[in-house]
Structure 1
Amino acid sequence: MAARNLGHYLPDEEPMEQDSMAKAKSRLRLAVVCSSNQNRSMEAHCMLRRQGFLRVRSFGTGSSVRLPGPTPYMPNVYDFQTTYEQMYEDLIRKDEDLYRHTGILGMLQRNKRIKPRPERFQNCYDMFDLILTCEESVFWRVVRELNERQSVMRKPVNVINVDIQDDDTEAILGSVLLCHLCHCILLMGNTQKELVELLKLFEEGLSMPFLHARCFY
């Protein structure tokens, strides 16, 4: 994902007043999901919260949390009950110089300022208005999980995927894109047709696919 000027992809509507936008952002129940709840979802969590999305949460969908190790074939694997602080201390014991150089320790320091530990989406039964995923396989896991739950309330939720590569630079660029997408969604009307048109506009402007599914709680 290259850095792009996204300003001209806003919907053709009068902008919200500042107070109205702030209230809309504070009300939106938003989830960002990647595989391990470490890099992409946490960078977006941080960015969205700074931009006034006060009800944002982040998750992973993997069976475990995986962090890069000394080689691609030797990852550091933790369960979702392990805190970011515990991971940080473990990596310092293993090879502080390596993990400081690769940025993993810096990432974990950022993560633990946001929340204590990673969370697994499949273990969360809270309702959201919008779920953003960072990888196609994660998107399908989220959609499958929601569809398999026995729902009686039939509360709709839009699930949207934007593919973001799992490295520091792309996570930052991806978080900017997700934040911009959320602002655009708040500016448009509240119909599925308008959402589909907005995503097509993003796809055409950025030359990248945006998967979308409407699920229910």
Structure 2
Amino acid sequence: MAYDPRLSSAGTATAPSPPPPPPPPPEAMGGTTTPTTQPQPTSTPNEANNNTVAESESSSSSYKLRFCTVCASNQNRSMEAHLRLSTASSPFPVISFGTGSLVRLPGPSITQPNVYNFNTTSYSQMYDELLSKDERLYRNNGLLNMLERNRNLKWGPERFQDWVPGQPRVEHVSKGDKGALGTEGGVVDVIITCEERCWDAVVDDLMNKGSPLNRPVHVFNVDIKDNHEEALVGGKAILDLANRLNEAASQERKASGADGWENGVGEARRNFDARVPDILAEWQEKWPHLPALWTLAWL
């Protein structure tokens, strides 16, 4: 057993090692034994502080950035990314939107798309309608499979321009939307679009909203072709970017504390923001076929 220096300060010395040969047992000498109780070590102030720091570091390492994924109709690319982020081994809080004026899905011809309204038409309604129209067509082109995935993630497509940053989103938690936990406050740290025109629409809309929260948000574009195969690859790439960003955020919060983080101030936040371009550059080397853009905007 290791020697505990605190025992001597408490008035109890450790017993010396018995010299060989071992002494005869007390019973053989006609004596009796008296059990002794060795004091248990107690936590010192330094140990208590260390425990507090360890708990703080554990909390910091479990920190999760909040994400928003965006494509034109909130159907394919943004929803694949939504799926990847919300069902990762360590899930992220995530919301998703479209930037178009209407939700447009392929129809029987290029001039006959299926058109729906944002915010009022559920994925289940779209699924049932296309199923009744032509199950064979929409099964073969992947729309029914896509809508099946979508309706298991959230209620229906939302339009980014209708989103009010800071407006509570508690109803999405009650609906069972994947990734809704952590987004109840209606704010995000990172927005990732899937097409340059969507990135333009998002940046313009944030400027038009006038930054009511005065809160910084990183806006990325990962250019993904709008088909099911490319959406699968793009979703993996977006999850990789999210993991890299979150790791850096956790490191900075652990090193400098989280003071001012939510308001975009403090050393940890400044250091994280400064690292973002390098993180994106490293990510781009791994995913060269997915051209990316980035800017810092405000909610």
Name the TM-score class by shorter chain: 0.7 to 0.9
Distance 1:209 1:82 in 2: 32
Q: Which of 130, 144, 160 is the matching residue for 1:105?
A: 144
Q: Which of 114, 127, 137 is the matching residue for 1:76?
A: 114
Aligned to 1:171: 231
Which TM-score applies when normalising by structure 2? Answer: 0.63
1:119 aligned to 2:200?
no
Bigger relative CO (Cα 8 Å, ≥ 6 apart): 1
Between Structure 1 and Structure 2, the one with more strand by share is 1
Q: Which runs of 5+ in 1 are unaligned?
A: 1-16
Q: How far apart are 1:34 and its partner, in Å?
A: 0.4
Aligned to 2:220: 160
The CA RMSD measured in Å over matched residues stands at 1.8
Aligned to 2:276: 195
CA deviation digits over 1:134-181, x for unaligned, max 9?
A: 000000100000011122431100000000111111111101000000
Distance 2:144 2:284 in 1: 34
Q: Which runs of 5+ in 2 are unaligned?
A: 1-56, 166-186, 253-270
CA deviation digits over 1:6-39, x for unaligned, max 9?
A: xxxxxxxxxxx99855x223xx221000000001
Q: Percent identity?
A: 44
Report the number of matched residues.
198
Q: 1:1-217 alignment to 2 at 5 Å?
A: 21=61, 23-25=62-64, 28-51=65-88, 52-80=90-118, 81-126=120-165, 127-188=187-248, 189=252, 190-207=271-288, 208-217=290-299
Q: How far apart are 1:73 and its partner, in Å?
A: 2.5
Letter in 2 for 1:212: W
Distance 1:105 1:119 in 2: 19
Letter in 2 for 1:60: G
Please say which structure displays the higher CA radius of gyration. Answer: 2
Which TM-score applies when normalising by structure 1? Answer: 0.85
Letter in 1 for 2:295: A
SS of aligned partner of 2:192:
strand
Q: Is the 8 A contact 2:189 2:217 kept in 1?
A: yes
Distance 1:49 1:147 in 2: 28
Q: Is the 8 A contact 2:237 2:287 kept in 1?
A: no
